[in-house]
Amino acid sequence: MATLTELKCAVRETLESRGVLGQLKARIRAEVFSALDDQREPRPPLSHENLLINELIREYLEFNKYGYTASVLTAESGQPEVPLDREFLANELKVTEDASSKCVPLLYSMVSHFMNSSDDSGKAFLRGASLPASTLTSNKVP
């Protein structure tokens, strides 16, 4: 007859080998976050830039089967439950895609573009975004 410790180890190993243990842990974290989330404190309005950034991240997370992480992002950020249309997102970012790039998240294609583009300096020049003041002040660390 197996001891309680042996039984715990066998159950843990079985859940790990099936890939379920990580999903359970992620689900528990998401539920704990949901229970602790203070709905009384209003969130700052979701800027257009944040909406696009969150959507790029959500597309990446869902592509990689990080569903629980994506659900926490959606809940915490106030992102709409229904994902933005891929074509709309590409148009907003002024991105033109070919057939192969449509098979992966836009974030992959954008990173690949910057890593593989060769200009004179080897670096891209980035300008600061024009974010609303409420976004800048709400993201400061106390």
pLDDT tens track for 28-81: 877 777 777 666 667 778 899 999 999 999 999 999 998 888 888 888 888 888
pTM: 0.65
Beta-strand (E) ranges in the chain? none
- In tens, the pLDDT along 90-102 reads 999 998 888 888 8
Given a cut of 70, is residue 142 above it in pLDDT? Answer: no
In this predicted structure, the answer to whether residue 140 has a pLDDT above a threshold of 50 is: no
Given a cut of 60, whether residue 135 has pLDDT beyond it is no
Q: How many whole angstroms separate alpha carbon 10 and alpha carbon 2?
A: 10
Q: Please give the Cα distance from 134 to 37 (Å, whole number).
A: 21
Average predicted confidence (pLDDT) for the chain: 81
47-112 is a CATH 3.50.40.10 domain: no
Three-state DSSP state, 91: helix
pLDDT greater at residue 5 or residue 89: 89
Task: Provide the pLDDT for residue 119.
Answer: 64
Q: Cα–Cα distances in Å, from 32 out to 28, 38, 134?
A: 6, 12, 28
Residue 141, pLDDT above cutoff 50? no
Spell out the domain ranges in the chain: 47-112
Q: How far apart (Å, rounded) are the C-alpha atoms in residues 30 and 32? A: 6
